[in-house]
């Protein structure tokens, strides 16, 4: 296929934010006495949105009020963790974004975060100006794995043939959303390793964004 549009997920793809979120969740869990909040437990929430986390944790812990307090406290702790310098760009983003600009391939950010948080994180890692088009949780009704966020990103980016667009994701729910949108997707694993599902439902599983750059170069020859 010829790649004419690239859609980036943000968390775990552009920025190394999942570790920041997990650390914030850990701190909140410790403060509220919530046991068992391990990385293994956290992985199921990657790319799924806050409402899914609230519903699942309420089911597991049996106390919605406690879970909602946990979510609020976790959010309060994210910015201090970021301000402590724990947020970084994912390897290869600089190289990939430079290649896309030089090649005239448009790229758009599609994140389940709220816009104010997206802009804050992008500012912190110095790439806010890289993205001329951003789709956030403010712009859609249904979160991933619904296709809304990727369909919206595709629509505002010129609506090329869907098989000529490419989504970059790191999560199970993100891959499902891409599949539901009918747009090819590459997985670049972060905190979640690629399993059988991810290998079968993506066009490639690649180590980093430099590998994605090489993949697109090859496809566009």
> Do 117 and 210 have their domain in common?
yes
- Given a cut of 80, whether residue 26 has pLDDT beyond it is yes
pLDDT value for 217: 98
> Do 126 and 210 have their domain in common?
yes
> Do 99 and 187 have their domain in common?
yes
C-alpha 95: how far from its chain's center?
19
Query: How much is the average pLDDT of 203-211?
Result: 98
Q: Residue 193 is part of a domain; what is its CATH number? A: 3.40.50.1000
pLDDT value for 49: 73
> Do 153 and 186 have their domain in common?
yes
> Do 113 and 215 have their domain in common?
yes
Let me know: does 113 contact 148? Beta carbons within 8 Å.
Answer: no
SS (H, E, C) 106-125: CEEEECCCCHHHHHHHHHHC
Q: For CA atoms 71, 49, 6, 115, give the dihedral sign.
A: negative
Last residue of a domain, one of 34, 59, 86: 86
- Given a cut of 80, whether residue 133 has pLDDT beyond it is yes
- Give residue 46's pLDDT band: very low, low, confident or very high (50, 70, 90): confident
> Do 123 and 160 have their domain in common?
yes
Count: domains in the chain: 2
pLDDT value for 197: 96
Last residue of a domain, one of 34, 66, 86: 86
- Given a cut of 80, whether residue 1 has pLDDT beyond it is no
Average pLDDT of the chain is 95
Range of the domain at 64: 18-86
> Do 102 and 50 have their domain in common?
no
Let me know: does 130 contact 109? Beta carbons within 8 Å.
Answer: no
Q: Which two tokens stand for residue 137?
A: 């949780």
> Do 63 and 123 have their domain in common?
no
Per-residue pLDDT tens over the stretch 47-94 = 777 888 999 999 999 999 999 999 999 999 999 999 998 899 999 999
Query: How much is the average pLDDT of 121-149?
Result: 96
> Do 103 and 77 have their domain in common?
no
Last residue of a domain, one of 33, 53, 86: 86
> Do 202 and 136 have their domain in common?
yes
pLDDT value for 51: 87
> Do 50 and 151 have their domain in common?
no
> Do 95 and 146 have their domain in common?
yes
Per-residue pLDDT tens over the stretch 159-193 = 999 999 999 999 988 999 999 999 999 999 998 89
């Amino acid at each position: 296929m010829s790649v004419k549009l690239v859609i980036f997920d943000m968390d775990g793809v552009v920025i190394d934010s999942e570790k920041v979120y997990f650390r914030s969740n850990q701190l909140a869990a410790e403060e509220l006495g919530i046991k068992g909040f391990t990385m293994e437990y956290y992985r199921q929430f990657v790319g799924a949105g806050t409402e899914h986390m609230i519903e699942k944790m309420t089911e597991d812990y049996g106390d919605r009020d406690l879970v909602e307090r946990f979510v609020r406290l976790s959010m309060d702790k994210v910015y201090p963790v970021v301000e402590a310098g724990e947020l970084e760009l994912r390897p290869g983003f600089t190289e990939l974004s430079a290649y896309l600009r030089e090649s005239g391939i448009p790229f758009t950010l599609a994140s389940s975060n709220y816009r104010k948080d997206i802009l804050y994180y992008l500012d912190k890692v110095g790439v806010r100006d890289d993205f001329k088009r951003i789709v956030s949780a403010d712009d859609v009704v249904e979160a991933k794995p619904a296709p809304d966020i990727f369909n919206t990103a595709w629509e505002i980016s010129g609506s090329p043939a869907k098989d000529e667009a490419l989504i970059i994701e790191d999560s199970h729910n993100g891959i499902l959303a891409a599949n539901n949108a009918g747009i090819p997707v590459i997985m670049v694993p972060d905190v979640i390793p690629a399993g059988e599902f991810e290998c079968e439902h993506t066009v490639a599983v690649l180590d980093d964004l430099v590998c994605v750059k090489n993949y697109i170069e090859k496809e566009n020859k």
